[in-house]
A and B are shown apart, each in its own frame.
Chain A
Amino acid sequence: MKIFILLMLLVSQSLFASEVEELFKQKKYQQVASLFDNPNTFNPLSSQDMILVSYSLRAMGRYRDNTKLIAVMIKKLYAKEHAQIFDKIQNKVTLDADDYPKPLILLYWNIYNDYALIIKSYKKADAQLEKDKANFQSFRNILSELEFREGRVEKTNDQVTSHLQYLSDIEYKFTASFQLQYMSWQYSAIMSRKSTGVNTDLIITNQGLCLGGDVGYESGFYHYALEGCFLIGSGGVTAYGTPEVTYKQNLAAYGVKLGPSAYKIVSSSKSRIGISLPILFTTQKMTQPSDPDYVVDQDTAVNFVPTLNARWQFDKWYLKTEFGQYFGKKETLWALGVGRQF
């Protein structure tokens, strides 16, 4: 309101209250603001009435219309000074606020705040936002150069920056990466002795590399992807305690791990935590013992392995961990990998 009174005093050219002023005093903002909508009612307005229309537009929440009105006022009333300010900023010449009319600076302040409110009203980014951002930054620059209300200008800028970050964060973008993981997983089997019916649990502890990647969509808060990799590795299996037979093999393993994943992004560096629900398919053929009394019965080659994942981002590169247990079984899988986003 102080700004309003100051503007009124500075711009006022008439000692007599106009019809517009009467409406404004009666808080009939809608009626005053509607003068902007019709060139026939807007063009004859005095600069004093324009200010009243401007404040009415703000009162009605018509911030974009108000930026248009202020632009007209600047062009109509302070075209020369505005051009000079613009030139000096472009040529990096220091500005002195005392050299310019106070009402002009207050118009800059108002239009700056209007653009801030316009930007903060966006629910999602679009082409118009880029134009509003450019205008907002332009008036921020002018106010900063004029050293006008610097603290408040920066506070408003912080709020706008925060909202722009939010708009950027809620937007889902396609992402893809490749990754190489060192992985250890287990595979079990049972060796049975037909003559006695005694069973011996066998477990293969494998390790290998899994080369693959992920494709998905990522916002600033969540990341949903399909992850997959081709696995190559090996593992050993031994069985002691069966005096007649010592079963010992080292077996190559190949496979595929594929499944959806969901992450929550928890830091500005894009570190994230999530879960993955992959299917693990491995081929690892165990030979039968030479003694025909023994038979090895392998577990299924396809397993569902829910994992708890975490990922730490270093710009495009990332480090990733996975830890999970086969669904309905005791075997586990864990992996440590590095990846790079495209």
Chain B
Amino acid sequence: MFAKFLPVLLIMLGCFYSKNAKAYPNFIGHGYTSCINCHYNPFGGGPLTDYARAVAATTISSRNFYPESMTDERLANSSGFLFNKPENTWLRAQMNYRGFQLVRNPNSSTQEKTMWINMQADARLILKFGENDRFITVANVGYAPPEKNAPAGTKQDTWRSREYYMGYKITPKIGVYAGLMDKIYGIRVIEHIAYSRVYPQVTQNDQTHGITGHYIGESWEAGLQMFSGNLMQDADIRMKGFAATAEKTIFGLHRLGGSFISSENDYLKLNSAALHARMNLKEGSALLFEVGRTTQTVVQSKKEKTSHYGLLQTYLRPARGWYVLNNVEYIKTNVEEDPYSIRWGPGVQYFPFQRLELRFDLYNTRNFSKEASTKDNWMYLFQTHVWL
């Protein structure tokens, strides 16, 4: 399987030598320790700030398709909505599309499944006022693909808002945000199928209504969130609770932190805790590391199940616009049982020019069990991400 894609990877890598967004957690490799540098949401995700869009144009994206005469300054000036430089300070509009070709069990004559998934097609509006955007309002509406595995007859809206909130910075260091937002927990990696996002229930459709406090100091950044579940859902399935996260900058480069989340609805109680680290290895190279423990308790039966997960994401930046990554994940769904799985996959991320991200990920999942020896599961995806 891997051999089939090795030439593709090598050709893509070879392109690094032919010449001389989105803000992701691995951009700590460019020196951005805090999400608030690039996002209106201080814990990351959602709309990008003007600064982030300029960084995407001048640092993240390659220059492969630009003439020499196109300076980085001109690129930065065209990084606004629809290639314009913002004409005012208080209103921003953004559009974002993400879709991918997913291939499961490639090379299997009977089990190969190919599908195109429109994962995200959002329109965003940001209102911001005051010095350093002291008051912000963020609203988002977008297409949400219906769940293919949902029970028959389930009503599924194909349009939804994944976030709308208002924020107020009481001081430059302290901010309060209220509305529909992502839960604050762990490293917000882009892979929504990551075990570190699925098991603590902090993945792409797990937003919640609540109130979030954010503190950023010289070396510490922390948040506390009280939430009442997604009010668009039926009351009995809303996960209510609280989450807390804190990170400390060490050596002026890296971040070490921990997160905790506790939530429950009428059927399930969920507690998760994680330790995480993001390491800046210069010029775009970075390591992301998270280990966590999740305990699910069925309310009615009091039956409890504890899972352990691990995430190691590694990034290298061979040339501007290019990132080579390795995604290593571990999951033991029940600590009292023997089986566990490791998902391992190399990938290549390419930003040919600002507003476009192309990404290839290969996932090789291996199951370890004393009772069964099974063949690996394979999956790959080609992802396209466009932001306007």
Q: Report, as a range, how many residues of chain B touch the other chain.
A: 35 or more
Any A CB within 8 A of the CB of B287 = yes
Q: Report, as a range, how many residues of chain A touch the other chain.
A: 35 or more
Q: How far is the CA of A184 from the CA of B326 in the complex (A)?
A: 16
Smallest Cβ distance from B112 to chain A, in angstroms? 14
Task: Decide: B1 and A238 in contact? CB cutoff 8 A.
Answer: no
- B10 proximity list for chain A (CB < 8 A): 275
Q: How far is the CA of A236 from the CA of B6 in the complex (A)?
A: 28
- B326 proximity list for chain A (CB < 8 A): 310, 321, 323
Any B CB within 8 A of the CB of A165 = no
Q: How far is the CA of A164 from the CA of B340 in the complex (A)?
A: 51
Any B CB within 8 A of the CB of A196 = no
Of the candidates B9, B282, B374, which one forms a contact with A269 in the assembled complex, judged by CB atoms under 8 Å apart? B282
Task: Decide: B283 and A323 in contact? CB cutoff 8 A.
Answer: no
Any B CB within 8 A of the CB of A303 = no
Any A CB within 8 A of the CB of B371 = yes
- A332 proximity list for chain B (CB < 8 A): 1-2, 364, 366, 376
- B367 proximity list for chain A (CB < 8 A): 205
Any A CB within 8 A of the CB of B246 = no
Beyond A205-B368, A334-B344, whether A321 also contacts B283 by CB under 8 A is no
Any A CB within 8 A of the CB of B150 = no
Of the candidates A201, A319, A330, which one forms a contact with B287 in the assembled complex, judged by CB atoms under 8 Å apart? A319
Any A CB within 8 A of the CB of B125 = no
Any B CB within 8 A of the CB of A273 = yes
Any B CB within 8 A of the CB of A296 = no
Of the candidates B316, B369, B374, B376, which one forms a contact with A271 in the assembled complex, judged by CB atoms under 8 Å apart? B316
Measured CB to CB, the nearest residue on chain A to B9 is A308
Any A CB within 8 A of the CB of B285 = yes
Looking at A50-58, A59-67, A260-268, the stretch in contact with chain B turns out to be: A260-268
Any B CB within 8 A of the CB of A215 = no
User: Which residues of B from 278 to 294 have beta carbons under 8 Å from A?
Assistant: 279, 281-285, 287
- A236 proximity list for chain B (CB < 8 A): 369-370, 373
- B342 proximity list for chain A (CB < 8 A): 184
Any B CB within 8 A of the CB of A306 = yes
Task: Decide: A310 and B373 in contact? CB cutoff 8 A.
Answer: no
- B3 proximity list for chain A (CB < 8 A): 306, 325, 327-328
User: Which residues of A from 220 to 262 have beta carbons under 8 Å from B?
Assistant: 235-238, 240, 250
Q: How far is the CA of A203 from the CA of B369 in the complex (A)?
A: 13
Q: How far is the CA of A319 from the CA of B368 in the complex (A)?
A: 23
Q: Using an 8 Å CB-CB cutoff, how does the interface string of B333-357 with A read, 1 for contact, 0 for none?
A: 0000000001011100000000000
Any B CB within 8 A of the CB of A204 = yes
Q: How far is the CA of A336 from the CA of B310 in the complex (A)?
A: 13
Not counting A310-B314, A325-B3, a sample of 8 additional A-B residue pairs whose C-beta atoms are within 8 angstroms of each other reads A266-B285, A267-B283, A275-B10, A308-B346, A313-B281, A321-B328, A323-B344, A332-B376
